[in-house]
Amino acid sequence: MAKKKIKIPLSYRQNLSTNLAKAFTGSQSKPQGNNPVGRPRGNFKHRSPFNGQPIPAVVYYKQIREFRRLQQQRANQVDRQQIQQLAKRGIPPEQAKQIVDVRQIRSVVPQQPQQIQNPPQSSAVRPIWRRKSVVNYEVDSMGNRRPILQGNDPRSFWN
């Protein structure tokens, strides 16, 4: 076998070799300085529950636990004070706890506007024998009033 001599020399091209390198390494190349991965440095997404200042996440979770613990202590203290005030009036502690709990629930649940309390009107048809009979009166020429039974009266149901 004879070796052929190449008349035109092939030159090395940089962009071809980098494209081939990217193809073989896939998309796992290191991030460029312009496009870093993840949340930007120094930008905190959590705020302190005490003063509202931006803080790191680790500190936020510690502070939120402390904040909730303090809120629970304050709530228990207010409950005890209200129960003591009711006890001074002569209400037993068990009843006082129930009264305080009901007050707290009422303060949290939004109140509906007060309306004139009318009994709810039912759309169900009452049976004929339970209906109130409507009695109309007929006046004759002498001025005597005589009741006229309407259709709601059970006695006139079959008549």
What is the structure's pLDDT at 104? Answer: 85
Tokens of 114: 């007060």
45-61: pLDDT as tens digits: 899 999 999 998 899 99
What is the structure's pLDDT at 136? Answer: 75
Q: What is the average per-residue pLDDT within 53-75? A: 93
Q: What is the average per-residue pLDDT within 121-142? A: 68
Domain count, the chain: 1
Domain presence at residue 54: yes
Domain presence at residue 4: no
Domain presence at residue 59: yes
In the predicted structure, residue 69 carries a pLDDT above the cut 70: yes
36 pLDDT tier (thresholds 50, 70, 90): confident
Based on its alpha-carbon atoms, the radius of gyration of the chain, rounded to whole angstroms, reads: 44
How many Cα atoms sit within 13 Å of 2 on the Cβ side?
3
pTM of the model: 0.42
Q: What is the average per-residue pLDDT within 14-24? A: 67
Tokens of 20: 């081939």
> Distance between CA atoms of 97 and 106, rounded to whole angstroms?
14
What is the structure's pLDDT at 110? Answer: 74
In the predicted structure, residue 120 carries a pLDDT above the cut 70: no
> Distance between CA atoms of 152 and 159, rounded to whole angstroms?
12
Sign for the CA dihedral angle at 80, 86, 91, 97 comes to negative
Domain presence at residue 148: no
**How much is the mean pLDDT over the chain?**
76
Domain presence at residue 139: no
Q: What is the average per-residue pLDDT within 123-133? A: 59
Phi, psi of 107 (to 5 degrees): -70, -25
Q: The domain containing residue 51 runs over which residues?
A: 46-107
What is the structure's pLDDT at 131? Answer: 54
Domain presence at residue 55: yes
94-116: pLDDT as tens digits: 899 999 988 888 887 776 666 56
Chain position carrying tokens 């209906």: 131
Domain presence at residue 118: no
Three-state SS for 54? strand
Percent composition of the chain: helix, strand, coil (DSSP 3-state, to 5): 40, 10, 50
Domain presence at residue 150: no
